[in-house]
Structure 1
Amino acid sequence: MSIPTATYRIQFRNGMTFDRAAALVPYLQQLGISHLYASPIFTATRDSTHGYDVTDANEIDPAIGGRAGFDRLSAALKQAEIGLILDIVPNHMAASLENAWWHDVIEHGEASAYARYFDIDWSRKLTLPFLGDDFDRVLANGDLSIKAGSTSGKPVLAYFDSEYPLTPASWQGRESDVLAMRDPAAITALHAQQPWQLTSWRTARSQLSYRRFFEITGLVGVRVEDEAVFADTHRLILELVHAGVVDGLRVDHVDGLADPLGYLQQLRQAVGDACYITVEKILAEGEQLPDEWPISGTTGYEFIAALSHALIDDSQIDMLHLTYEAVTGQRNDVRAGLRAARELMVDRNFAGEFARLLAIAGNVTQQEHRNFGEAELHVALRELLIAFPVYRTYGQAAGMPLAGEELLLQVLEEVKHSASPAALSFIQALLLGAVTEQGEHDAAEFRARFQQLTGPLMAKSVEDTLFFRNNVALAINEVGAEPLPHAFSVAHFHEEMQTRLAHQPDAISTTSTHDTKRGEDARARLYTLSEAPALWAENVTRWRQLNQSHIVTLDDGDAPEPAVEWMLYQALAGVWPATMHATDSAALEALCERFIPFVEKALREAKLRTDWADNNEAYEEAVLSYARQLLSPQNTAFLEDFGHALQPFIRAGLVNSLTQTVIKLAAPGVPDIYQGCEALDFSLVDPDNRREPDFARLAEQLDIHSAPDFSQQQDWLSGRLKQQIVARLLHLRRDRPALFRFGDYQPLSVAGEHADKVIAFARQDSESALLIIVPRLIFTDAQWTHTTVALNESLAHRQYRNVLNGETYAIAESIALDNVSYSAPLVLFSS
């Protein structure tokens, strides 16, 4: 297997095509990238912005260049000796009429050849919740009609541009009568003859008859656990791997599958041992991938969580919480907030999935004559789901592995006083496979669906609800982060890196993705708030006063409320361009165009005073108007104050940016550079983080021959300095792959007056050594005087070369940092 030394993620679509990517290959080669890491390339819905809504898994999307364009990109990569990793989507496809398999299922129902390809409950009609209102109202409004399909010529039920095929038995032999049908009652009767029913989009939460991806009704679950489905959905993927065109695969949302281990074993067998495989998987604190998974590791969200330990000031983070409570006038009980978010998901957003689980369990109770009622079972199942601490367990048809059993027993112990012991014991038996032979089939289905539900519940309650409600420190609200308050320490960071080397040394290490809540440099800047909580609170108080006149009082309270004001100022601080001038009206307008969609999304994801399903238009407009006013060129006093007050956070954030970059490139794992993040990235949550960077500027400013100049402020602000450091270290990784893949990770002892301002570690193998010494917590005290880094015997008394400037040093037992600039990371290599 060829393990990447560094990957570069490219987001196709939105203007990025294969030919445009091919033109970037010389730049990627110069940067030092070993593998291009492509977002999904298979045919997706028309105008898809991301490619995860696949409509044809066996066709390369013509919208981005088709097979011919893909082959041209492959040839360019081969010539440059750059590998290719594809992002594949086995869990779901688009529930779209553009999807031929889905279209066939709608037309023929359970008789379709593809009826078992999708995870559909065929005990009832296929629900299609794509109407803007109830069927009867939509029909009465004249929005539904019968006509000949625009491509097939067969009768269809048309709803605006959507044409739902009628099952042949409902029109064959009377086609002309059906096509002439205009009477609402007749259309209703024809609709009733279909194997499907059109319903309002609002019914999806409670009445959906198919498994969806999270809450997205337009994405239907695929049953890749079925060998025929696996074969049909992976035909082109396997062809590309076997042809040597594709070197690696990134498996999207592996936790959504009925049997992740079974799928990964089948995938490994199909692609062979040489294919590099990683999975998108969120690991909770202390959780590791199952040892038996035949993969190289995750896509790296846990790496972001580990970095927060290196860059958060634990001695002052509690003060940030206290100042938040003082400003907002609210106690910030995160544990209670987490439970409330999980309750909302179980009771409302995933009510249909919960009801299906409850029904399956109820079938078994009837078969086994259990002595508790449905209400007790309801409470027990609900409490278990709410308390579940990780994304999922990995039980199979044969039962639950030991790690899963231990976790389940832990959760059962936690909820034992909140639910019926008999009902909890029964659910335990279902999940562990300890039921009678009569209930075995239902128990296996319950186990699979329970495990497929806990992940979406966790993701939507934490990442997409709590992280938009708990606004104390937005930098910590990141995919893969621990949601509850906890201690931060460099020691813990080192432990995480040693664990990473032991368990998944070939996993991807990321700092930005298409799914992160904000760009890596925005996060690096916002970490610094933990170093100056009183100053930040003082700033927020002053800014609130400056903008007080724009608060609107509504029936349900002020808009925005203090907690949202705090969030707005912090989010704006993170996205504020490093070179922004408060008088630049064009730049303010461009920033506003990005900021307003974020604010709308943040309000709706929080699900407090407005929601995606039930918009509180008056509230939203009041908050959006406030946000627009913040960036209005006429708001001179605020903008000048904000820009000035932000300067120390900007400076410290840029140092943090270099620190996390150097760590990512030197620590265990395969570093991924998300498109454009080799320079500065102050993006917000998607879709803002999926914007295409200025590749022409990036290529123009890259100079791998000159040493990074830390004295040039413009190089800091433009991202050129970061880019040069990335290139230097990527070339070292490419030249010394064994050191970074197999070398020990050794935390280095730091002593002296500013020991807490330093992160130091070494990578070492039998041939060479690398010393990394980088700054932290420099917001108020940017110096390293009277501070030393000790070296053990194997690292001491060696000649080292500074990778960033080429200087050489003879180093004895320690490194004195008195004359070392805190802003210039030390990257010392010895061979």
Structure 2
Amino acid sequence: MSANPRTPPRASYRVQLHKDFDFAQAAALADYLQALGVSHIYTSPIMTARAGSTHGYDIIDHTRINPELGGEEGFEALHQALKARDLGLIVDIVPNHMGIGSDNAWWMDVLEWGQHSPYAGFFDIDWHSSRRNLEGKVLLPVLGDQFGAVLERGEIELRLDAEQGSFSAWYYEHRFPISPLDYPVILLRDDAPGPRAISPGLEALIRAFCLLRDDAAAARSSADELTQQFATTMRELPAIAEEVQAALGAFRGQIGMPDSWRPLGRLLDAQAYRLAYWRVSSDEINYRRFFDINTLGGLRVERIDLFNETHRRLLRLVEDGRIDGLRVDHIDGLHDPLQYSRRLQGAAGRPGEPCYIVVEKILAPHEQLPSEWPVAGTTGYDSLNLIGAALTDPEGERPLGTFYRRFSGVQESFEDILWHSKREILRNSLASEVSVLASAVYRLSSSRWRSRDFTLNAIREALENLIAAFPVYRSYVDREQPAGASDRRHIDWALGVAKRRAGPVETSVYDFIAGVLTGDLAGQGSPYPRDEVLSLAMRFQQLSGPAMAKGLEDTAFYRYLRLLSHNEVGGDPQRFSLGVQGFHHANQQRLEHFPQAMLSASTHDTKRGEDARARIACLAEIPAQWAKQVLHWARMNRRLRVRIGDADAPERNHEYCFYQSLLGCWPPDLDLDHESALADLAGRVEAAMVKAVREGKQRSSWVHQDAEYESALAQFVRAALDPQRSRMFLDDFAGFALRLAESGMRVSLSQTLLRLTMPGVPDIYRGAELWDLSMVDPDNRRPVDYVQYRKRLAEIQELVPGDSGSVEAASQLMRAWSDGGVKLHLIRTALGLRRRQPALFAQGDYLPIEAQGHFADQVLAFGRRRPDQAAITVAPRFWNRLIDANGHVDWQDTVLPLPPGRWRNLLDGASLDSADGPAPLQALTRHFPVALLVTD
């Protein structure tokens, strides 16, 4: 084991690895990242993913470093490059699921051998479905039409792989292995009428394959040798190969003659899988997926043998000191997150030196990460939304809501929209998962007199309502203990809401299911088996998370569009704003419980880049002006809408989304006479808008696309951004967008400084060290031009050569704020301080500082302190309230008391002395919108 001590990260930098940005390109960033001030590079998954994967979460082989990224040699070169620059490495890992298909050897073995495959238990498959045609089979919803139609059109072909000695069915690029137990069925058939002579060599092989059927369980171990013998025989005796090819003729039907396809149909029906039309997946699929993605199959990583197999190579890299930290993807998808996190920490950590592990966990505003998990914290969606809420003006909530309802016509509350969205997901995308769980609960209830009268339909309805009402992604009951206090609060809340929404019906079934979810049904003296009850509770938890993610993030967030900056992963549009005290309390809690949690602002999954959100949040400061502008633009663009049936397209809700989205991504240096730049912007916005409409699932969807509506929407976006057709709109919009962009710049600097200095480990998403005005994936994964980023950093290093800025430098950067240099200067300065004083931010106290004066509540200020070190963060908010009649910022009498001593603002070089009295905010922010003070 490596003797190198583990140092927790000071700050990380996230990169997305794929074939066009591999280990070599990541290694080439080492000097740049060192100069920027981060301590660790943080990558997307590095194990072998599906060929061409742009994200790496569809891993097909956990035992091999991805050759598309550079393989073992490329990874070692990355390690050496980082080591030379004293940088560490954090790696994303994917324990919940794998990419499934013909490129996954485990999955293909399961398809070939069914429950006799040694990998059958690795995947979360319900082999004993209530549907008769799925007993002992796995459903494969891959066909573009009904099975019979596809079969009779000849689109499924039985082929021989003579080199491997195997048969497979092919549907275009999809391969489905035929079980060797059924090879005799193929080899004994012929397309010629009457009896057929079989050569002695082939007859011997047929007898050998027939013997496999005598013991199917044992056959798996001997079949490989037999298929190799089969391949050798065909290679050495071409006549036998020709004989086998002739036998395949019996499985080639004729178009227009349905009966001619029976041999192939029966052969396929005999396999351990059932090929099906892709649209049946939501109702019948019987393997757990990642959300509703059919090509990502859930893993049962709670099995120790699977854990060892999927983590062996990774943990060796941790042991060797080549990986310094782990980011666990989608931990809520696991059967038992506590067990997993303990097992991972136990394998990756050392005595007295735990491994740095963060988990992708979405927390509700009122929710805390379970304290017993041995991890450093979450990946930062909670801090992202905490900062966002603290920087959103509460005075905008009522007027924005009123105008949004009037303009869009959306009258439902967000609570109702979320309820209906989750119900829709449960009845469509996740219908099969609900059916499996409902059937299991029904079997439990039917096993005892006291609950046998609950019907399957009543149980299913209750489960749907309880999941729809669940206020968090999941609870955490496990086999060691029933529900804790927080779990009970969440379950009780869901129970109350579900009963109320169920209306005047018998609700005792809800109490029964609640007893399952808490584990109380299996209490002392209970007639119900404890293991079965807790297993059902844990299965419910694995379903409530995907239902929340799909219902909230991928549906409700695209239906309720009052203020898009709130519609973010981990966000809650019902929490419009957060006060100063609430912000400080959350930070003190983090310092106490998870002081090394990651602090994010943008990720590969965020709906909008951090600076786009900051701009949009400014609308809460100017609701009346915003309403006036939207109405003006809507009138100007009325001619661009078209009539579809009895309604306009795009509808008002989507038009409202368009204006907000365009404001968020509007380049501050955009030239309206630059047609190609406008066309590029139009293409990006169009793609994001079409995605938003499909995610909302009201006028179109990914499954049922409305081409006419989508075309009308795309034409609207293109026309609105065409200077030949909409110059008046563009001129007016650009003027407003630039004014908002300057306000957004100030908010962005506040949120950046807060993230860099509050308790936790700040993370910078690739490219977000300058303005991140991106929209949702794939817009946020466009290539980063690191040549320009290096150039800009070098310019700032020359402008600010030391560890502290100057008034001249700050003023120069502010005059050119649109190029993002102000943000880069702030990041470099704050990370430089963290590098010089790591203990201050890793272990220092968090001390709220209250401003005084007229605008006291518009300052977020706190100190970080150790006995010999101190720093103060000053981050203003609600800048538009500060603008006087002449358009100037006027803090009036607002001041900030400073602890005793002399202080220096690292961002503009100004010096202050507490002996002179509280520092006026007017002076603190005169040259730069935020301040980072250190003892001079």
Q: One fold, TM greater than 0.5?
A: yes
Residue 834 of structure 2 corresponds to 733
User: Given the alignment, which residue of 280, 283, 304 partners 1:206?
Assistant: 283
- One-letter identity of the residue aligned with 2:861: A
Output the CA distance in 2 between the equivalents of 1:814 and 1:674: 36
Output the CA distance in 2 between the equivalents of 1:221 and 1:438: 28
1:501 aligns with 2:591: yes
Report the TM-score when normalising by structure 1: 0.97
Output the CA distance in 2 between the equivalents of 1:493 and 1:685: 27
Q: CA deviation at 1:494?
A: 1.9
1:28 aligns with 2:36: no
- One-letter identity of the residue aligned with 1:352: S
Q: CA deviation at 1:22?
A: 0.8
- One-letter identity of the residue aligned with 1:521: D
Whether the 8 Å contact between 1:709 and 1:715 is mirrored in structure 2 is no
Moved more, 781-790 or 324-333: 781-790
User: Given the alignment, which residue of 544, 556, 560 partners 1:454?
Assistant: 544
Residue 872 of structure 2 corresponds to 771
- One-letter identity of the residue aligned with 1:51: G
Q: CA deviation at 1:540?
A: 1.3
Moved more, 745-754 or 312-321: 745-754
Number of aligned positions between the proteins: 828
Whether the 8 Å contact between 1:704 and 1:728 is mirrored in structure 2 is no
Moved more, 632-641 or 597-606: 632-641
Q: CA deviation at 1:386?
A: 1.2
Output the CA distance in 2 between the equivalents of 1:442 and 1:785: 63
1:755 aligns with 2:848: no
Whether the 8 Å contact between 2:390 and 2:577 is mirrored in structure 1 is no
Give the superposed CA RMSD: 1.8
Moved more, 739-748 or 646-655: 739-748
Whether the 8 Å contact between 2:649 and 2:712 is mirrored in structure 1 is yes
Output the CA distance in 2 between the equivalents of 1:773 and 1:192: 69
Residue 68 of structure 2 corresponds to 63
Q: CA deviation at 1:420?
A: 3.4
Q: CA deviation at 1:805?
A: 3.4
Whether the 8 Å contact between 2:124 and 2:299 is mirrored in structure 1 is yes
Provide closer, same or farther for how the CA distance between residues 724 and 150 of structure 1 changes in structure 2, counting only shifts above 3 A: farther
Output the CA distance in 2 between the equivalents of 1:348 and 1:556: 27
1:383 aligns with 2:470: no
Output the CA distance in 2 between the equivalents of 1:231 and 1:168: 29
Residue 818 of structure 1 corresponds to 922
Q: CA deviation at 1:474?
A: 0.4
Residue 430 of structure 2 corresponds to 350
Residue 3 of structure 2 corresponds to none
Q: CA deviation at 1:487?
A: 4.5
User: Given the alignment, which residue of 496, 500, 518 partners 1:413?
Assistant: 496
Residue 644 of structure 1 corresponds to 735
Output the CA distance in 2 between the equivalents of 1:344 and 1:585: 42
> What secondary structure is seen at the aligned counterpart in 1 of 2:780?
helix
Whether the 8 Å contact between 2:124 and 2:298 is mirrored in structure 1 is yes
Output the CA distance in 2 between the equivalents of 1:204 and 1:156: 23
Trace 1:109-508 onto structure 2 (pairs within 5 A): 109-123=114-128, 124=135, 125-149=137-161, 152=164, 154-172=166-184, 174-175=186-187, 176=244, 179-180=248-249, 181-183=251-253, 184-273=261-350, 274=353, 275-369=355-449, 370=451, 371-403=453-485, 404-417=487-500, 418=502, 420-433=506-519, 434-435=521-522, 436=526, 439-508=529-598
Q: CA deviation at 1:818?
A: 3.2
Q: CA deviation at 1:672?
A: 0.1
Q: CA deviation at 1:741?
A: 1.5
> What secondary structure is seen at the aligned counterpart in 2 of 1:751?
coil
User: Given the alignment, which residue of 598, 605, 610 partners 1:515?
Assistant: 605
Whether the 8 Å contact between 1:155 and 1:178 is mirrored in structure 2 is no
Output the CA distance in 2 between the equivalents of 1:750 and 1:332: 39
- One-letter identity of the residue aligned with 2:777: D
Q: CA deviation at 1:151?
A: 7.2
Q: CA deviation at 1:814?
A: 1.8
- One-letter identity of the residue aligned with 1:550: L
Whether the 8 Å contact between 1:704 and 1:727 is mirrored in structure 2 is no
Whether the 8 Å contact between 2:288 and 2:297 is mirrored in structure 1 is yes
Whether the 8 Å contact between 2:394 and 2:576 is mirrored in structure 1 is no
- Give the unaligned 5+ runs of structure 1: none
Q: CA deviation at 1:331?
A: 2.2
- One-letter identity of the residue aligned with 2:252: R
Report the TM-score when normalising by structure 2: 0.86
Q: CA deviation at 1:547?
A: 1.5
Whether the 8 Å contact between 2:392 and 2:576 is mirrored in structure 1 is no
Whether the 8 Å contact between 1:508 and 1:669 is mirrored in structure 2 is yes
User: Given the alignment, which residue of 710, 717, 726 partners 1:627?
Assistant: 717
- One-letter identity of the residue aligned with 1:596: E
Q: CA deviation at 1:590?
A: 1.5
Output the CA distance in 1 between the equivalents of 2:813 and 2:909: 18
Moved more, 480-489 or 599-608: 480-489
Moved more, 336-345 or 244-253: 336-345
Whether the 8 Å contact between 2:97 and 2:290 is mirrored in structure 1 is yes
Provide closer, same or farther for how the CA distance between residues 496 and 195 of structure 1 changes in structure 2, counting only shifts above 3 A: same
Alpha-carbon displacement from aligned partner over 1:220-276 (angstroms, at most 9, x marks no partner): 001110000000000111110011100000000000000000001111111114310
> What secondary structure is seen at the aligned counterpart in 2 of 1:312?
coil
Provide closer, same or farther for how the CA distance between residues 146 and 251 of structure 1 changes in structure 2, counting only shifts above 3 A: same
> What secondary structure is seen at the aligned counterpart in 1 of 2:922?
coil
Larger radius of gyration: 2
Residue 704 of structure 1 corresponds to 797
Whether the 8 Å contact between 1:747 and 1:762 is mirrored in structure 2 is yes
Moved more, 477-486 or 149-158: 149-158
Output the CA distance in 2 between the equivalents of 1:172 and 1:740: 70
Q: CA deviation at 1:407?
A: 2.7
Q: CA deviation at 1:12?
A: 0.5
Output the CA distance in 1 between the equivalents of 2:285 and 2:586: 41
Output the CA distance in 1 between the equivalents of 2:327 and 2:303: 21
- One-letter identity of the residue aligned with 2:849: L
Whether the 8 Å contact between 1:710 and 1:824 is mirrored in structure 2 is no
Residue 653 of structure 2 corresponds to 563
Trace 1:715-730 onto structure 2 (pairs within 5 A): 715-730=816-831
- One-letter identity of the residue aligned with 2:892: H
Output the CA distance in 2 between the equivalents of 1:362 and 1:654: 56
Whether the 8 Å contact between 1:276 and 1:296 is mirrored in structure 2 is yes
The percentage of aligned residue pairs carrying the same residue is: 39
Output the CA distance in 2 between the equivalents of 1:9 and 1:103: 34
Whether the 8 Å contact between 2:434 and 2:460 is mirrored in structure 1 is no
